[in-house]
């Protein structure tokens, strides 16, 4: 799989190329702004962002929410609004009822929801135009555009951990 060169625009207005000519790019496809399951996962990415950057990886996270809903998040990486799911379709990222029904998702739903209720995460909007049943996906892209590794989640909390991302990044760097 190969990713054609493009310029993405983050919700902050910052523009950047994908693929990046100098480093790996990790594209994450999440669900919607305020998704408790997504927030739980992204907290681990934020906590280890310096480590990810030191491994030569630029983090880019897509949400199928409008930019206005995403701008208030203070995240140390690029956040892309894709309410029309253009990039989701391009990369084959799907939605499914099993996103929330899978038993491996239940613990993340409970933990993420509890943190939301305690005010640690911002709650989602009541209505999600892109739906609530999105599945996550991860892609690691080389400077030349080659997709070095990818994962299509089978449920809402089925994505690469930071350790898995770093393992893929280390494997991509020639010794």
Distance, CA of 108 to CA of 119 (rounded, Å): 16
What percentage of the chain reaches a pLDDT higher than 90? 50
- More confident of the two residues 61 and 132: 61
Q: What is the pTM of this model?
A: 0.83
Task: Evaluate if residue 79 carries a pLDDT over 60.
Answer: yes
> Could you read off the pLDDT of 137-151 as tens digits, one per residue?
999 999 999 999 999
CA distance 159 to 154: 9
| Extended beta strands in the chain, E state | 6-9, 15-18, 24-29, 57-63, 78-81, 137-141, 147-152
Lowest mean pLDDT among 8-12, 36-40, 109-113, 127-131: 127-131
Closest CA to 25 of 14, 17, 37: 17
If you ran DSSP here, which 8-state letter would residue 144 be given?
A: T
Mean pLDDT check: name the lowest of 12-16, 49-53, 59-63, 101-105. 101-105
Domain ranges of the chain: 6-172
Per-residue pLDDT at 175 exceeds 50 = no
Q: pLDDT tens digit string along 95-113?
A: 766 666 666 776 666 666 6
- The pLDDT of residue 106 is 65
Query: CA Rg, the chain, in Å?
Result: 15
- Inter-axis angle of helices 36-47 and 103-117, nearest 10: 80
Model confidence at 117, pLDDT cuts 50, 70, 90, reads: low
Say if residue 89 is exposed, middle or buried (CB neighbours under 10 Å; 0-12, 13-18, 19+). Answer: exposed
Among 151, 165, 146, which residue's Cα sits nearest to residue 93? 151
Q: What is the mean pLDDT of the chain?
A: 84
Q: Which of the four pLDDT bands, split at 50, 70 and 90, describes residue 114?
A: low
CATH among 3.40.30.10, 3.30.1330.40, 2.60.40.1930, 3.40.50.1950 for 6-172: 3.40.30.10
Q: Which among 40, 169, 52 has a CA at the least distance from the CA of 111?
A: 40
């Amino acid at each position: 799989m190969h990713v054609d060169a493009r310029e993405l625009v983050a919700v902050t207005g910052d523009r950047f190329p994908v693929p990046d000519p100098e480093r790996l790019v990790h594209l994450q496809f999440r669900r919607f702004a305020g998704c408790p399951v997504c927030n739980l996962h992204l907290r681990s990415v934020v906590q280890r962002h310096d480590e990810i950057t030191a491994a030569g990886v630029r983090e880019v996270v897509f949400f199928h929410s409008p930019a206005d809903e995403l701008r208030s998040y203070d995240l140390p990486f690029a956040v892309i609004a894709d309410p029309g799911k253009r990039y989701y379709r391009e990369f084959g990222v799907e939605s499914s009822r099993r996103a929330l029904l899978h038993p491996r998702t239940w613990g993340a739903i409970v933990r993420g929801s509890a943190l939301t209720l305690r005010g640690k995460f911002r709650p989602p909007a009541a209505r999600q135009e892109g739906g609530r049943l999105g599945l996550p996906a991860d892609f690691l892209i080389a400077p030349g555009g080659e997709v070095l590794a990818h994962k299509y989640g089978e449920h809402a909390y089925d994505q690469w951990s930071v350790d898995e991302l770093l393992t893929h990044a280390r494997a991509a760097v020639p010794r």
